Amino acid sequence: MIIRKLFKFENAHVVRGCSTQRCRASIHGHSYKVEVLFESKYLDHGQMVYDFGLMKQGMKELIDSFDHAVAIWDGDDGEYIEAMKAHSNRWVMLPVSPSCEQFSRVIFLMLDQLLQSTQMINGERGVKLNSIIVHETETGYAQAFSEDAYSDVMGNIPLASIGFSDEVRQGWSDSGLWEKVLSGEKFLNPATV
């Protein structure tokens, strides 16, 4: 069975190297919708694949990190990077260009790492991330599956090279959330919902 949870965020970016002049040469924004799809062949003690309420913790906080932020590719021009950091309190540094496709891969990797570090305590079994769908516009989206997120052909995305501004971190219930995700520290599910 597959379940789906929808998240939303507003974000600005420049997608260098794309075909469209407006997108590759001017900072612009989108109202993103992110669909998180989980799957399992089993149901927990509440007869659910995965309680939607559990997604309001770390998963929502990580996705919300992109809200009202500038997504910056660490391979962009140094002056541009420094200007974005100087003029925006909320930014996310990515090791890939912030295209819709790469957003879906990055978010997949972030949430997959968090899910793998989660200790289930309500009878959840076999829960895995099926895919991430990122809607950049009403008519266009990218969907990443595990084979896309972990694809060397599409480019390796080292999670440790993703960085968040101080203001983004201050919005988390635990300012060390990202370091805990990276280290594989166990998260108890549910902590308190």
Length of the chain as a residue count: 193
Catalytic hit among 23, 30, 35, 39: 23
137: nearest Cα among 18, 53, 30, 13: 30
Catalytic hit among 45, 101, 136, 167: 136
Q: Across the chain, where does the E strand assignment appear?
A: 2-13, 28-39, 69-73, 91-94, 118-120, 128-135, 141-144, 163-164, 187-189
User: CB–CB of 187/180 below 8 Å?
Assistant: yes
Query: Is 68 among the residues known to form the active site?
Result: yes
pLDDT band at 56; cut points 50, 70, 90: confident
The yes-or-no verdict on residue 192 having pLDDT over 80 is: no
106: nearest Cα among 24, 167, 29, 164: 164
- Report helix, strand or coil for 123: coil
Give pLDDT tens digits for 117-165: 999 889 999 999 999 999 999 999 999 999 999 999 999 999 999 999 9
- Any idea where the domains of the chain sit in the sequence? 2-189
pTM over 0.85: yes
pLDDT band at 191; cut points 50, 70, 90: low
User: How large is the average pLDDT for residues 36-53?
Assistant: 95
- Percent with pLDDT over 70 in the chain: 98
Pick the CATH number of 2-189 from 3.40.640.10, 2.115.10.20, 3.40.50.720, 3.30.479.10: 3.30.479.10
Pseudo-torsion of CA 176, 150, 48, 134, nearest 10°?
80
The yes-or-no verdict on residue 54 having pLDDT over 90 is: no
Query: Is 100 among the residues known to form the active site?
Result: no
DSSP lists the bridge partners of residue 72 as 93
Query: Is 136 among the residues known to form the active site?
Result: yes
pLDDT band at 190; cut points 50, 70, 90: low
